[in-house]
């Protein structure tokens, strides 16, 4: 037992003798260098990961901005791609073609609706006839036409072609407005149909519907003289020129 202890002590002494101070210093420096290298490696790994994270973050931000800009661009282009329907109406008898614009609450103004109303009512009263309401029709024309247009109307009603003489109490002349087109701000062209009917508005035997085109020029300068006229024409609608022609049948 004592011999084994002596051998161990002897071996340890040899190791201590072999590790000289110079060798110990070199070993310490090597350990230090290895530690520094390991530390630098870890630092480089961390920096690399941080750079990678920063790059990915920038890419994500760029993609997000690109998506937002693309969405805004598409939204901006959407109105340009709106399809506006348009219908063309063809009269099977005359071949006349006119465009029917879809109703649009934004484009339809109070002024345009009022003008259309007065134009249509003028045509119905100027061209229509009904024994029991002819005075009301005449009053409307008088309240909405200038002197020249009114004189022409009175001459027509007193002529041999007057519905007063031709239709009397037995028949009516109904007017159906088919379309109103504005040639400019103060000129309208109206397509309408005349129908000679029985008092119950059934088409009279021996009479065919006839198609006409009226062109009228108007303004809103009519002088209202009486309260009765004001009730008929409160805005002073005034027809200053009126012409009607038969629509050509093709």
Q: Are residues 127 and 70 both part of a single domain?
A: no
What confidence score (pLDDT) does residue 103 get?
43
Query: Sign (positive/negative) of CA torsion 202, 208, 209, 215?
Result: negative
Residues 123 and 167 in one domain: yes
Residue 84 pLDDT > 80? no
Q: Is residue 188 part of a domain?
A: yes
Domains of the chain: total: 2
Per the structure, the complete domain to which residue 22 belongs is given by 2-75
Q: Which pLDDT score is estimated for 16?
A: 47
Is residue 83 domain-resident? no
CATH number, residue 136: 3.10.450.230
Predicted TM-score (pTM) of the model is 0.60
**What pLDDT is recorded for position 105?**
47
Q: Is the pLDDT of residue 17 over 50?
A: no
Query: Where is 195: in which H helix or E strand?
Result: strand 187-197
**Tens-place pLDDT, residues 171-227:** 999 999 999 999 999 999 999 999 999 999 899 999 999 999 999 999 999 998 899
> Residue 88 pLDDT more than 70?
no
Separation of alpha carbons 171 and 202, rounded Å: 10
Clarify whether residues 143 and 181 are in a common domain.
yes
Q: Are residues 136 and 215 in the same domain?
A: yes
| 195 domain residue, yes or no | yes
pLDDT band for 243, please (50, 70, 90 cuts): very high
In tens, the pLDDT along 35-69 reads: 676 667 667 667 776 777 777 777 677 777 878 77
Condensed to tens digits (0 to 9), the pLDDT of residues 104-151 reads 445 545 588 999 999 999 999 999 999 999 999 999 999 999 999 999
CB 163 within 8 A of CB 194: no
Residue ending a domain, choose from 33, 50, 75: 75
Chain-centre distance for alpha carbon 78: 11
**171/203 same-domain check:** yes
Distance separating alpha carbons of residues 229 and 237, to the nearest angstrom: 11
Dist. CA 173–CA 201, nearest whole Å: 9
pLDDT-derived band at 154, boundaries 50, 70, 90: very high
Q: Are residues 114 and 63 in the same domain?
A: no
Q: Are 10 and 116 part of one and the same domain? A: no
Return the pLDDT at 193: 97
The CB density around residue 244, as the number of other CB atoms within 10 Å, is: 15
Task: Please tell me whether residues 181 and 119 are part of one structural domain.
Answer: yes
Question: Do 39 and 113 have their domain in common?
Answer: no
Q: Indicate if 20 and 46 belong to the same structural domain.
A: yes
């Amino acid at each position: 037992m004592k011999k084994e202890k002596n051998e161990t002590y002897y071996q340890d002494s040899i190791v201590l003798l072999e590790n000289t101070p110079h060798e110990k210093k070199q070993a310490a420096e090597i350990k230090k260098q290895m530690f520094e290298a390991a530390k630098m490696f870890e630092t480089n790994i961390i920096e690399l990961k941080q750079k990678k994270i920063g790059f990915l973050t920038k890419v994500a931000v760029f993609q997000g901005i690109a998506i937002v800009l693309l969405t805004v661009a598409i939204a901006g282009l959407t109105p340009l791609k709106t399809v506006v329907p348009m219908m063309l109406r063809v009269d099977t008898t005359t071949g006349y073609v006119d465009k029917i614009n879809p109703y649009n609450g934004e484009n339809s103004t109070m002024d345009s609706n009022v003008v259309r109303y007065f134009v249509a009512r003028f045509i119905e009263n100027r061209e229509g006839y009904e024994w029991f309401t002819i005075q009301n029709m005449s009053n409307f024309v008088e309240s909405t036409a200038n002197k020249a247009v009114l004189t022409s109307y009175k001459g027509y009603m007193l002529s041999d072609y007057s519905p007063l003489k031709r239709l009397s109490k037995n028949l009516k002349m109904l007017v159906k407005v088919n379309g109103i087109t504005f040639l400019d701000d103060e000129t309208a062209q109206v397509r309408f149909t005349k129908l000679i009917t029985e008092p119950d508005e059934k088409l009279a035997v021996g009479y065919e519907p006839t198609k006409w085109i009226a062109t009228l020029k108007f303004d809103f300068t009519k002088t209202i003289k009486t309260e009765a006229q004001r009730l008929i024409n409160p805005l002073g609608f005034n027809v200053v020129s009126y012409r009607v022609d038969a629509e050509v049948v093709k």
